[in-house]
Structure 1
Amino acid sequence: MLCDDHSQLCCTKCAFNDHSQCSKVTQISELTNSQPTGLEGLSVELETVLGEIKTLQISQKASIQSFQRTYKEHSAVMIEQMLGNLNTYID
């Protein structure tokens, strides 16, 4: 499945759970039914798909960076809490 709202590929479970409110979620098989005619059409189609893949790649990199920042922040908070608990027990 492809969610046009988020420019994101998703499985049927994710499409149902996470993208049910999105305006356009399409099966990939439906997207591949239209085939361009001639080499020129194929070239244009490939460029379009390449652009979409690059957009998805940028989005995924941003998501990974956001996750890593959140993980580091959460880890720091958890360590501080554990140290505080240890100091309380030691005192």
Structure 2
Amino acid sequence: MEDLLLKCSVHKDETLKMFCQDHIQLCCSDCVLLNHRQCTNVSLISESVKKLSLDMKQLSINLQTIIHQLNMF
């Protein structure tokens, strides 16, 4: 089952390694070369996850600040 989730649906033997933010799509290397050359936001999945993690931490901090401010009223 895990292999099914990690493999490209178009290029069956390729592993999904990239994420295209422009299309919100997981891609294998072949897909990137064939369909995402013009995209400006293609990165490794591992790098996208790191960035998302940082964004979520910042969101949490912002929400805590807002809640604190609301509680002061």
Normalised to the residue count of structure 2, the TM-score between the two structures is: 0.44
Q: Which has the larger radius of gyration?
A: 1
Q: Which has the higher helix share?
A: 1
Point out the structure with the larger strand share. Answer: 2
